[in-house]
């Protein structure tokens, strides 16, 4: 099942940059990795890999952050994600929603099934191997992250990463009494954008550089990163 995104028409001319290990000692890390804990398998590269140019920009973003908040760090949640892991987590999230509603997958009505998939795909890109429409994380150009303060504690953004709810929208707390959450989201956005990233319109934690979403949001004529060919890893 392919769900078209507004950036899928953008052509890709891959720069050929290799996936590189994120220098985790320079950042904070949200660990253990939640998808591995959920049972997802990474046979080749770990989720703590990105294209080399993306890592350079992450380091820049962290420098900008520390001019605003000395001692704070970017908190890395997820980077490279093979399509097989994308599929695993899409199915995993669907099952979580079924259980949360007290339903049984075997007895779902067509309407119930459709409504649940709509919720899942608000957060998760549809897994597919079409080289023209790669899931963002499969390109090595997308990263999910938060912030850690000068004590090492993860800053509260008002909702956890990957939550399937309206609270995931970047501006959910714009006119809310809990303005601290919104200010934290604005700070993360500001330092990432200063380094050249673009933020996912519907997720406060997802930032990209060089992929189709980035090209769409920055009005670039083409993307620089396509799907990493896992067979070549």
Where in the sequence numbering do the catalytic residues fall? 203
Q: Which residue has the tokens 């890893």?
A: 233
Coil vs helix vs strand at 120: helix
Supply angle C-alpha 7, 12, 14, rounded to 5: 140
How far is C-alpha 158 from the chain's CA centre?
A: 17
Backbone angles phi and psi of 95, in degrees to 5: -65, -40
State how far the Cα of 34 lies from the Cα of 146, in Å rounded to an integer.
14
How far is C-alpha 126 from the chain's CA centre?
A: 13
Backbone angles phi and psi of 28, in degrees to 5: -90, 155
Q: What residues form DSSP beta bridges with 102?
A: none
């Amino acid at each position: 099942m392919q769900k078209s995104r507004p950036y899928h028409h953008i052509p890709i001319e891959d720069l050929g940059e290799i996936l590189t290990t994120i220098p985790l000692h320079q950042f904070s890390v949200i660990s253990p990795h939640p998808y591995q804990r959920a049972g997802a398998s990474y046979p080749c590269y770990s989720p703590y890999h990105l294209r080399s140019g993306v890592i350079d920009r992450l380091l820049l973003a962290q420098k900008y952050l520390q001019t605003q908040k000395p001692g704070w760090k970017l908190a890395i949640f997820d980077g490279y994600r093979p399509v097989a892991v994308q599929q695993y987590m899409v199915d995993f999230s669907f099952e979580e929603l079924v259980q949360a509603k007290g339903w049984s997958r075997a007895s779902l009505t067509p309407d119930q099934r459709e409504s649940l998939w709509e919720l899942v795909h608000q957060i998760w890109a549809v897994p597919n191997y079409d080289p023209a429409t790669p899931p963002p994380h499969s390109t090595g150009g997308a990263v999910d992250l938060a912030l850690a303060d000068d004590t090492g504690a993860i800053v509260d953004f008002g909702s956890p990463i990957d939550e399937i709810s309206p609270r995931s929208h970047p501006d959910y707390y714009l006119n809310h009494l809990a303005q601290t959450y919104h200010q934290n989201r604005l700070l993360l956005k500001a330092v990432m954008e200063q380094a050249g990233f673009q933020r996912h319109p519907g997720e406060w934690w997802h930032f990209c550089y060089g992929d189709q979403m980035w090209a769409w949001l920055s009005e670039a004529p083409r993307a620089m990163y396509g799907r990493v060919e896992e067979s070549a890893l």
